[in-house]
Chain A
């Protein structure tokens, strides 16, 4: 990982360096355990008990919570919805973010302005903007339906239609995260050496599509994997829009993992059951991270 520490005593002052390092690291080290690592371990331990919030005793429950999850209809709906949300919003965010990045990077003028416009939603308060979206998705006077009607399609009650609510939330997610994907892609694009494009032009192939297919796409591979992983992990954490716009409804159609976790852990006070849902959530995040690492390693071999 890092170069091996030199044996103490090899150099005058090495001992002092050891002490200083421990002291400098100590506050962060303690806080890291108290606020992150400790509670993360505690969540996993708690998920093997049947503790409800406020009870005096803790009893071992084995895999009981996980077995209950297995038979819990709401949990499966929640997991399915989360996966649909991720499956819809991640490809859309990545594709649109990449398109925006390529178009903006290639533009002769106006780059900073475009970048500011596309990035603005990332820096804004999602909760406030969610309410704006609620208004824009209003069935009668909303901006979206006025546009839809003007284009000749049927108006929809987006947030109250079980078939559409999750998609509407995914669209809000895409709007919010697109700028982030774009900025990360722009960094990736800038890292592509310009002489490759020049070499391609010497070969006589200088069409936009050829440039994309033969240089940009292959060299952007690692950035693509990285952006997809970040977006997937972020999408798994969808909560704000659900909590304030739909509360999991209509008919559980927007029930997502974190919302189910909060409902069980904090509203119904079933802490241990909520902990089990948290463990499942953590598991998915770790799988995504491992998949990213694996893909990047694999790419590196013939990179």
Chain B
């Protein structure tokens, strides 16, 4: 390894600190403005802290001028329902794709991979027409239904379930367990770590989702947090920055705090999207060093049944 000398190391940290400052600047500005009275927002020189605290008024306005609490509640309700549905459908299918022998397996997996390639905005027009005919537009169902299936979730969990040893399942069969019991009592309990990572991702995506709610929802009281903020910004049209930034802070805070607390699970979850990369070309790192690796089912899994590199998903 290269000898570490003081100067390059200082340079490295100087660049990193400068970059980090640029990355967090918007968050700092957001919180700073949310504490200031209107007069200070347009001050010629930006200051971190207000001369006159106006936090209470700004946050009160954010919660009273628009139903911000309702938006948050909508967000929690929608993301919870979506994740429940995604997990309930993805886990059984992933388990069947990974461990059961059945005639349609190859085709079913090919369809999952095909569906992975379709950007979420593509089905929007037909879904809108269908919801209109079923008179579901502008309802919770309209927001939730299109996201009830996550092919990414199926893919992720299938990759994980493939690492569950076949012997374990064979033994359970010998004991006379039914296929459903095996899925429920053997497969599921092993799947909590990847499921937690998937939950993080699902939560980020659906809390932040703007495109579809923007199309499907007109009523203010049904708005998810991002849509609610957009309504608010339309109403205020760039005049009252304080309350607007207060609302933005409130909406961003749950994710930002959750991220800071569960940082590792978040990053692991995102890294697992890298599963789509052909694994042969990414040699496994030593286990203890990288959390992403320890987490990823393909690498250094404690119960890995077959030696040698696994094949790429669709190679």
Binding site for B on A (CB under 8 A): 1-2, 4-6, 8, 13-14, 16-18, 20-25, 27-29, 31-32, 35-40, 42-43, 46, 53, 96, 99-100, 103-104, 106-108, 110, 112, 114-129, 131-136, 140-141, 143, 146, 175, 178-180, 183-184, 186-188, 190-194, 197-198, 201, 206-208, 211, 222-223, 226, 230, 233, 236-237, 239-240, 243-244, 258, 261-262, 265-266, 271, 274-275, 278, 281-282, 285-286, 289, 296, 299-300, 303
Q: What CA separation (Å) do A239 and B105 show in the bound complex?
A: 36
Q: Which residues of B contact A143 (CB under 8 A)?
A: 25, 29, 46
B20 with A117: CB separation less than 8 A: yes
Tell me the nearest residue of chain A to B43, going by C-beta.
A141
* B213-262 CB contacts (< 8 Å) to partner A: 214-215, 225-227, 229-230, 233, 238, 241, 244-245, 247-249, 251-252, 255-256, 258-260
- Looking at chain B's contact residues, the main secondary structure is helix
Listed A/B pairs (5) with beta-carbon separation below 8 Å: A2-B106, A25-B93, A190-B289, A190-B292, A271-B125
Which of A37, A38, A124 contacts B255, CB < 8 Å?
Answer: A124
Q: What CA separation (Å) do A225 and B139 show in the bound complex?
A: 41
Given contacts A1-B110, A27-B92, A190-B290, 11 further A-B contacts (CB under 8 A): A24-B96, A25-B108, A29-B111, A39-B126, A104-B16, A125-B252, A126-B226, A129-B30, A178-B23, A265-B125, A278-B125
Which of A28, A37, A107, A223 contacts B90, CB < 8 Å?
Answer: A28
Binding site for A on B (CB under 8 A): 1-4, 8-9, 12-13, 15-16, 19-20, 22-27, 29-30, 33, 41-46, 88-90, 92-93, 95-97, 100-106, 108-112, 114-115, 117-119, 121-130, 132, 145-149, 151, 154, 173, 178-180, 183, 204, 207-208, 210-211, 214-215, 225-227, 229-230, 233, 238, 241, 244-245, 247-249, 251-252, 255-256, 258-260, 263, 266-267, 270-271, 273-274, 276-278, 280-285, 289-290, 292-293, 314
User: Given contacts A190-B285, A222-B281, are A103 and B119 in contact (CB under 8 A)?
Assistant: no
Q: Which residues of B contact A131 (CB under 8 A)?
A: 229, 233, 244-245, 248
Q: Which residues of A contact B42 (CB under 8 A)?
A: 140-141
A187 with B274: CB separation less than 8 A: yes
Q: Which residues of A contact B95 (CB under 8 A)?
A: 24
B179 with A35: CB separation less than 8 A: no
A28 with B20: CB separation less than 8 A: no
Q: Which residues of A contact B251 (CB under 8 A)?
A: 125, 128
B255 with A125: CB separation less than 8 A: yes
B115 with A36: CB separation less than 8 A: yes
B118 with A36: CB separation less than 8 A: yes
Q: What CA separation (Å) do A278 and B244 show in the bound complex?
A: 33
A262 with B215: CB separation less than 8 A: yes
Q: What CA separation (Å) do A46 and B214 show in the bound complex?
A: 22
User: Given contacts A35-B145, A36-B115, A184-B271, are A239 and B122 in contact (CB under 8 A)?
Assistant: no
B96 with A21: CB separation less than 8 A: yes
A237 with B121: CB separation less than 8 A: yes
Tell me the nearest residue of chain A to B158, going by C-beta.
A2
Q: What CA separation (Å) do A175 and B23 show in the bound complex?
A: 7
Q: Which residues of B contact A296 (CB under 8 A)?
A: 277-278, 281
Q: What CA separation (Å) do A65 and B88 show in the bound complex?
A: 40
User: Given contacts A17-B179, A20-B179, A226-B277, are A2 and B121 in contact (CB under 8 A)?
Assistant: no
A20 CB, nearest partner CB in chain B, Å:
3
Q: What CA separation (Å) do A136 and B248 show in the bound complex?
A: 14
B229 with A42: CB separation less than 8 A: no
Q: What CA separation (Å) do A192 and B283 show in the bound complex?
A: 7
Q: Which residues of B contact A127 (CB under 8 A)?
A: 208, 210, 226-227, 229-230
B119 with A285: CB separation less than 8 A: yes
B123 with A175: CB separation less than 8 A: no
B22 CB, nearest partner CB in chain A, Å:
8
User: Given contacts A18-B102, A244-B233, A275-B125, are A180 and B30 in contact (CB under 8 A)?
Assistant: no
Q: What CA separation (Å) do A118 and B88 show in the bound complex?
A: 33
B100 with A21: CB separation less than 8 A: yes
B245 with A24: CB separation less than 8 A: no
A20 with B180: CB separation less than 8 A: yes
Which of B93, B101, B146, B267 contacts A115, CB < 8 Å?
Answer: B267
Q: What CA separation (Å) do A131 and B92 show in the bound complex?
A: 41
A222 with B2: CB separation less than 8 A: no
A188 with B149: CB separation less than 8 A: no
Most chain-B Cβ atoms within 10 A of its Cβ — which of A13, A37, A127?
A127
